[in-house]
């Protein structure tokens, strides 16, 4: 079944059963290997991408839920992700690195709606993303560093953080 979606601003068409996980399509069909597979059951956050701007777990999101919608992956680039990546480097966040694409996508979604989060807001927002290397404190510092740069939009008012959409919510948006 041919399904059309927009990935990092480009229209793409893939031929896959509608229940194929979006993660498989990104990695195997579109060769976007930055998004990682780990638990495969919406527990760790390694596979986080954005669906219409909201963070989702691509390992449990069927490709049919992404049809005619916009997907953003770690390969997208742009000022916010770049500023976060620079902050990640400055704070020497990365250890083995496996969880970090998902961490960065989760953090980017936070700063898109909450440009100056508190430590508590960061911890709450990032709580669903797991790091076996224990980089949580460094990630918090890096996000705070990035808020001082162009990572955060120039929003006049502070918006409350959005919770990551569940697969069920994402598929019904």
For the record, the structure tokens of 55 come out as: 């963070």
User: CA-CA distance, 119 to 64, in Å (whole number)?
Assistant: 36
CA dist 113 and 53 (Å) reads: 10
Q: Give least dist CB 60 to ligand FES, A.
A: 6
Which positions ≥6 away from 75 have C-beta within 8 Å? 8, 32, 34
Site for ligand FES in 94-123 (CB under 6 A): 94-100
CB of 8 to ligand FES, least distance (A): 19
Interface with ligand FES (CB under 6 A), residue from 12, 24, 39, 161: 39
What is d(CA 40, CA 110) in angstroms, rounded to the nearest whole number? 23
Told to check if 141 binds ligand FES by CB under 6 A, we report no
CB 59 within 8 A of CB 40: yes
Number of residues that make up the chain: 173
Site residue total, ligand FES (CB under 6 A): 23
Hey, what are 162's tokens?
């959005």
In degrees rounded to 5, what are phi and psi of residue 26?
-60, -45
Among 132, 158, 163, 168, binds ligand FES (CB under 6 A): 132
Residue selected from 1, 43, 137, 159 as contacting ligand FES according to rule CB under 6 A: 43
Residue 137 Cβ vs ligand FES, minimum distance, rounded to whole Å? 12
- Measured from the CB atom, the residue of 69 and 132 that comes closer to ligand FES is 132
The verdict on 37 binding ligand FES (CB under 6 A) reads yes
Q: Does 139 engage in binding with ligand FES (CB under 6 A)?
A: no
Interacting span for ligand FES (CB under 6 A) from 63-71, 126-134, 143-151, 159-167: 126-134
Between the CA atoms of 57, 59, 62 and 68, what dihedral angle is there, to the nearest 10 degrees?
60
> Which residues bind to ligand FES, rule: CB under 6 A?
37-40, 42-47, 57, 59, 94-100, 131-133, 135
């Amino acid at each position: 079944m041919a399904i059309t979606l927009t990935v990092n601003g480009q229209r793409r068409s893939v031929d896959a059963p509608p229940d194929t996980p979006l993660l498989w399509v990104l990695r195997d069909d579109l060769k976007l290997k930055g998004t990682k597979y780990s638990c495969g059951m919406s527990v760790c956050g390694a596979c986080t991408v954005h669906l219409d701007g909201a963070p989702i777990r691509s390992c449990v999101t069927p490709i049919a839920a992404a049809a005619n919608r916009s997907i953003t992956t770690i390969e997208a680039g742009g000022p916010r992700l770049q500023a976060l990546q620079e902050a990640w480097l400055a704070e020497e966040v990365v250890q083995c690195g496996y969880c970090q694409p998902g961490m960065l996508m989760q953090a980017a979604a936070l700063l898109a709606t909450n440009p100056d989060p508190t430590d508590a807001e960061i911890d709450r927002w990032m709580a669903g993303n797991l790091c076996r290397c224990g980089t949580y404190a460094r990630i918090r510092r890096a996000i705070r560093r990035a808020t001082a740069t162009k990572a955060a939009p120039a929003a006049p008012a502070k918006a409350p953080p959005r919770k990551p959409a569940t697969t069920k919510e994402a598929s019904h948006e």
